[in-house]
Amino acid sequence: MSFKADKFQENYELNFDNDTRPKVDPFNDKKFYTNIDFEEIDIRDVSFERCKFSSCLFNEISMADTIFTGCIFEKCSIVLARLENTTFNDVLFKGCKMIGLDFTKANDFLMTMAFDETILDNIYFFDKKIRKTNFINCRIKNSDFTRVDLSGSDFTESLFEHVTFSQCKLEKADFRSARGYQIDPETNNLKKARFTLPEAQSFLAYLGINIED
């Protein structure tokens, strides 16, 4: 993915923190929010462009019809947020905790995201096209990727725990330094995907092959 969000991170026009709680406008551009609990702020049907959110809380809130374009979430908690028709266009999640999120309900249009050093727990993607998505040094657990197009995605140094891949397109995906994945090569497209041993031995169980010392 050609990621652009980080080029805006040093050039914010307005800064907000806990002492200067923001009044969110219908359209917000180049704003920096730090240590804000958005539980008390209605961001439904609001647009954020080239904004940064640092150490903010988005727990159990609605992001319905919210648009994020070229934004960065850094060390944020996003737990059980509702994503009905939410747009994530060129968005980076770095060092975040993301739990109980259903991206199935998010807007498909221009969906481009990247995840760096982020915990993804109970995350659901279904029938989404998120090609060339970076999941770098992430911990992904108790999550479901079903009929997801992840072609060309990078899972460098990521750890998987109880993650389902079903009927996914994983062509040219990079799992070389990933650990803990369980991927059925008969039900997922792995053409030209890259794996390394010993983790790639997990395929043998699906093929009915046992290797003994």
Is the pTM above the cut of 0.85? yes
CA distance linking residue 154 with residue 134, whole number of Å: 5
3: nearest Cα among 116, 83, 96, 109: 116
Per-residue pLDDT of 40-59, as tens digits, reads 899 999 999 999 999 999 99
Cα atoms in the 13 Å half-sphere on the side-chain side of 27 = 0
Q: How many Å from the N-terminal Cα to the C-terminal Cα in the chain?
A: 42
> Two tokens at 107?
């807007």
> Two tokens at 101?
């999120």
Strand-pair partners of 113 = 91
The CATH code of domain 1-20+27-116 reads: 2.160.20
pLDDT score for 75 = 96
Average pLDDT, the chain: 88
Look at 213 and 43; give whichever has higher pLDDT: 43
pLDDT at residue 105 above 90? yes
Q: Which amino acid is at 99?
A: I
pLDDT score for 210 = 44
In what helix (H) or strand (E) does residue 206 lie, and over which residues does it extend? helix 202-206
> Two tokens at 10?
């040093």
Look at 113 and 200; give whichever has higher pLDDT: 113
Question: pLDDT band at residue 87, thresholds of 50, 70 and 90?
Answer: very high
Look at 146 and 7; give whichever has higher pLDDT: 146
CA distance linking residue 71 with residue 113, whole number of Å: 10
Strand-pair partners of 179 = 159
**What is the pLDDT averaged over residues 136-149?**
96
pLDDT score for 15 = 67
pLDDT at residue 186 above 70? yes
pLDDT score for 148 = 96
CA distance linking residue 134 with residue 76, whole number of Å: 18
CA distances from 30 to 17, 27, 55, 74, 78 (A): 15, 10, 17, 15, 21
Per-residue pLDDT of 5-29, as tens digits, reads 555 455 666 666 666 667 789 999 9
Residue where the block lists tokens 């934004």: 71
CA distance linking residue 148 with residue 146, whole number of Å: 5
pLDDT at residue 201 above 80? no
Residues of the chain with CATH 2.160.20.80: 120-213
Phi, psi torsion values for 61, nearest 5 degrees: -115, 170
pLDDT score for 2 = 43
pLDDT score for 199 = 76
Has domain 120-213 been given CATH number 3.40.50.10440? no
